[in-house]
Structure 1
Amino acid sequence: MIDFRYHLVSIIAVFLALTVGLALGTTMLQDPLLNTLQSETADLRGQSEELRLERDASERVNEGADELSEAAAQDLLEDRLQGLGVAVVVAPGAEEDMATALAARVEEAGGEVVGRISFTEEFPDEANAAFVDELAVQVSAEAEEMDGGAYVKSATLIGGALARSGGDEESDDERDVGRGRESSDGEEGSDDGEGSDGGGGVDPAAVLAAYSEADLLAVEGDPAGAADAVLVVAPAVDGVEGDPERTNTVVATVASTLSEQVGPTVLAGDMRSGRDEGLIAQVRVHEPDYATVDVAGRPMGDIVTVLALADSLEGGGAAYGVGEGVEGFLPSPLPGPLSAGPQESGGDEEASARPDDEARRAASGE
């Protein structure tokens, strides 16, 4: 029969076990456990310090590379875009400072920033898709017959409105010969005049004005019928207020269509845009016909962007920077200066190509 003494012995046994456990935990097991924890903490602290030092060293190297790029910018960029009309297209959520810096580099390379098109957050908004489609048809009746959705139609009209008109003093053929390529008589370098009418005979300025008045984009300068090339500034990864995935899809459509309508095109963004959910990383999966750069936003990256645009004048597109799938950090060999026209070549296409080749070899150190 269980009595009080049985309960007392049980309670004493429990407390005795607790006491023995505490004694072992604070004496025999304490030192090995603490030593292990202290050792692991010290290792982690050391690794953290090493990573911090490596990060600081990498940043100093990048700053040094920027300084070197600034010092060599004139030699690297001089006349690479000579006489070229460039339209700067700023995507929703893109960094304004990046767009401004890239425009300055274009001018440093001898190009002319004919204007700036800044798309608003309203343009890619899904709620406005039907309106964008209706506006395209209102601007040009031919839009109703175009293949593709609302954004392909609108980008086609906008691209046609930006593309240089056929009556410019310096023709596309002259610019091709200046780069050492054949004229349209030799088939290479001809674009058959596509996109020169702003879309179905509609006044190019009227096309841009229609989208501007609808608050879908803002226009700076006078880019209508003046662009030989396009520089698209990609959205920052955290810069889009609406749906980032949808915005990326719309901007990719715009960039591709502008490339078809205008010609040489570069999509530029920072390093984050070349990773994971960034726009440049996404478009590179599909190997676009236009060039992409994922190191814009600092001096060396802005210079690479302009060199990529100069390189794309010879056709096709390539991926430059540090992201997955790039062909290199910058074009190799470097593009040579863009001549003003065939009159400087003495009418001999081989002679015009030769200085360009020599400039390329000198720039690449061959």
Structure 2
Amino acid sequence: MIDFRYHIVSLISVFLALAVGIVLGAGPLRDYIADELSGQVEQLRAEKDALREDLDVAEAALQGRSTFLTEAAPQLYDGVLEGRTVAIVTLPETDSAVAEAVEARLVQAGAAISGRVAVAPGWTDPAETAFRAGIAENLVAQLNPAPDASTPADHVLAQALGQSLTLRDPGAPQRRSAEADDILEILRTSELVTESSTVEGPAYATVVVGPNDHHDEPLTDAELTEAETTNEAYLVLAAGIAETGEGSVLAGVDGGAGTLLAALRSGSDTDDVAITSVDSVGTITGQVTVPLALAATIAGEGAQFGLEESADLVLPEPVTLDLPDPAAFAPGPVGADDQSTDDADDDQTDDTDDDQSADAEQSADADQADG
């Protein structure tokens, strides 16, 4: 059994250790500890200052590169998009500053911006699938050319959006067609799109700007599944728009699994439709590349451009474009092809009747001669 003396000895030992620590800390070890701590603080302060200086140098270099690219862009473009109007389509969660920067580069390349349209979240909402199918069914009669009967509803809507921005009035090709106005109004009142800026006239080409969606942390399985479903819908949208006008570019990022261009460049259901893309859209490099990629697409040389490993080329090869023919994007009123076919059949019938009349007259003359 432990007696009272054991507790006394234990307490004395504790107090002795404490006293020794106080004596040493206040005496021989005081200066050593203080000097050691002061040295560590000074070292950390020096490292912090060095890192700050490195950061300032890196930021200055980055700003210098941005300034250089901004100033050099007009010479690099050499008016490659002169005489062309371009419409910009932004996807949900796209940074407005990035879209404005892309627009500024297009203007530097000589393009005029006909308007900017923002796709609403309802475009990809799974709960709105039946609603979108109904809108697509109502729009088919307005489309020219009309989609095949087997075309999925979301692809019809994508073609409709593209045509609403590019179709021209056959009687005045510098104006948008009545069908284009009607389609855009239906999409707008259905809350599938909004206008970031008023669509003033028809566009020859389009640029679709996606979100700068780099992920700092890996996505969970549920988040990745949701992102893949949304990106698939965006690619259908981009593919449908690319089928209208004379060219289209999808600008976004390839930041790995779950990002838009990663879905495009890794292969998808849109492999049979050429979609030109530009990555790193949040940087000056990607923004400067967009007009060049659009010109390359119009020239039939579209590809995947950018700085990521998934890109085919960093920059497109220089191209020279002829001025566009506005009449080529004014296919006439809906149903004109059917009417032309009917007219051709009528003409053929009239020709047949004329031939038969001529044969009858020739036969009558022959009989009269024999008589």
Answer whether TM exceeds 0.5 for this pair.
Answer: yes
Higher relative contact order (CA 8 A, sep 6+): 1
Corresponding residue number in structure 1 for 2:295: 310
Match of 1:286 among 267, 271, 279: 267
Corresponding residue number in structure 2 for 1:215: 191
Spell out, residue by residue over 1:278-301, the C-alpha distance to the aligned partner (whole angstroms, 9 max, x if none): 434443333873233344456654
CA shift for structure 1 position 134:
1.9
Corresponding residue number in structure 2 for 1:256: 239
Residues in 2 aligned to 1:61 and 1:324: alpha-carbon distance in whole angstroms: 24
State how 1:157-306 maps to structure 2 within 5 Å: 157-164=160-167, 203-219=179-195, 220-222=198-200, 226-237=202-213, 245=227, 247-262=230-245, 264-269=247-252, 273-276=253-256, 278-286=259-267, 289-296=274-281, 301-306=286-291
Residues in 1 aligned to 2:9 and 2:74: alpha-carbon distance in whole angstroms: 93
CA shift for structure 1 position 254:
1.3
Corresponding residue number in structure 2 for 1:355: none
CA shift for structure 1 position 211:
0.7
CA shift for structure 1 position 231:
0.5
Residues in 1 aligned to 2:61 and 2:34: alpha-carbon distance in whole angstroms: 40
State how 1:105-184 maps to structure 2 within 5 Å: 105-140=105-140, 145-148=149-152, 150-164=153-167
Higher alpha-carbon deviation: 297-306 or 28-37: 28-37
Higher alpha-carbon deviation: 71-80 or 31-40: 31-40
**Is the 2:212–2:281 contact (alpha carbons within 8 Å) kept by the matching residues of 1?**
no
Higher alpha-carbon deviation: 288-297 or 160-169: 160-169
Residues in 2 aligned to 1:120 and 1:302: alpha-carbon distance in whole angstroms: 23
Residues in 1 aligned to 2:200 and 2:154: alpha-carbon distance in whole angstroms: 23
Residues in 2 aligned to 1:114 and 1:20: alpha-carbon distance in whole angstroms: 84
CA shift for structure 1 position 93:
2.2
Residues in 1 aligned to 2:300 and 2:32: alpha-carbon distance in whole angstroms: 68
CA shift for structure 1 position 29:
8.2
Give the SS at the match of 2:135: helix
Give the SS at the match of 1:221: coil
Q: Compared with structure 1, are the counterparts of its residues 161 and 18 closer, same or farther at alpha carbon in structure 2 (3 Å cutoff)?
A: same
CA shift for structure 1 position 317:
3.7
**Is the 2:92–2:121 contact (alpha carbons within 8 Å) kept by the matching residues of 1?**
yes
Q: Compared with structure 1, are the counterparts of its residues 25 and 291 closer, same or farther at alpha carbon in structure 2 (3 Å cutoff)?
A: farther
CA shift for structure 1 position 89:
0.8
- The sequence identity of aligned pairs, in percent, is 30
Give the SS at the match of 1:203: helix
Corresponding residue number in structure 1 for 2:79: 79
**Is the 2:249–2:293 contact (alpha carbons within 8 Å) kept by the matching residues of 1?**
yes
CA shift for structure 1 position 40:
6.1
Spell out, residue by residue over 1:184-234, the C-alpha distance to the aligned partner (whole angstroms, 9 max, x if none): xxxxxxxxxxxxxx9xxx9333222211111211343255xx443220111
Q: Compared with structure 1, are the counterparts of its residues 48 and 168 closer, same or farther at alpha carbon in structure 2 (3 Å cutoff)?
A: farther
Spell out, residue by residue over 1:19-68, the C-alpha distance to the aligned partner (whole angstroms, 9 max, x if none): 55676788898888877776666555444434433332232223222332
Residues in 2 aligned to 1:82 and 1:274: alpha-carbon distance in whole angstroms: 30
Spell out, residue by residue over 1:64-101, the C-alpha distance to the aligned partner (whole angstroms, 9 max, x if none): 22332333333222331133342211212223343334
Structure 2 residues not aligned, in runs of 5+: 215-222, 326-371
CA shift for structure 1 position 303:
2.6
Higher alpha-carbon deviation: 102-111 or 80-89: 102-111
Give the SS at the match of 2:122: coil
**Is the 1:234–1:280 contact (alpha carbons within 8 Å) kept by the matching residues of 2?**
no
**Is the 1:275–1:281 contact (alpha carbons within 8 Å) kept by the matching residues of 2?**
yes
Residues in 2 aligned to 1:233 and 1:61: alpha-carbon distance in whole angstroms: 27
Residues in 1 aligned to 2:62 and 2:319: alpha-carbon distance in whole angstroms: 26
CA shift for structure 1 position 337:
3.2
TM-score, normalised to structure 1, is: 0.65
> Partner amino acid for 2:107?
E
CA shift for structure 1 position 165:
5.7
Residues in 1 aligned to 2:306 and 2:38: alpha-carbon distance in whole angstroms: 42
Structure 1 residues not aligned, in runs of 5+: 171-197, 343-366
CA shift for structure 1 position 253:
2.8
Bigger Cα Rg: 2
Aligned-CA RMSD value: 4.1
> Partner amino acid for 2:185?
A
Corresponding residue number in structure 2 for 1:325: 310
Q: Compared with structure 1, are the counterparts of its residues 92 and 23 closer, same or farther at alpha carbon in structure 2 (3 Å cutoff)?
A: same
Q: Compared with structure 1, are the counterparts of its residues 136 and 79 closer, same or farther at alpha carbon in structure 2 (3 Å cutoff)?
A: same
Residues in 2 aligned to 1:35 and 1:320: alpha-carbon distance in whole angstroms: 57
Q: Compared with structure 1, are the counterparts of its residues 169 and 205 closer, same or farther at alpha carbon in structure 2 (3 Å cutoff)?
A: closer
State how 1:17-96 maps to structure 2 within 5 Å: 17=17, 19=19, 45-96=45-96
Residues in 1 aligned to 2:236 and 2:38: alpha-carbon distance in whole angstroms: 56
- How many residue pairs match? The answer is 300
CA shift for structure 1 position 275:
2.6
Spell out, residue by residue over 1:106-162, the C-alpha distance to the aligned partner (whole angstroms, 9 max, x if none): 2332334333322123333333233122211222277794344x4333213323444
Residues in 1 aligned to 2:58 and 2:193: alpha-carbon distance in whole angstroms: 39
Q: Compared with structure 1, are the counterparts of its residues 96 and 44 closer, same or farther at alpha carbon in structure 2 (3 Å cutoff)?
A: same
Give the SS at the match of 2:86: strand
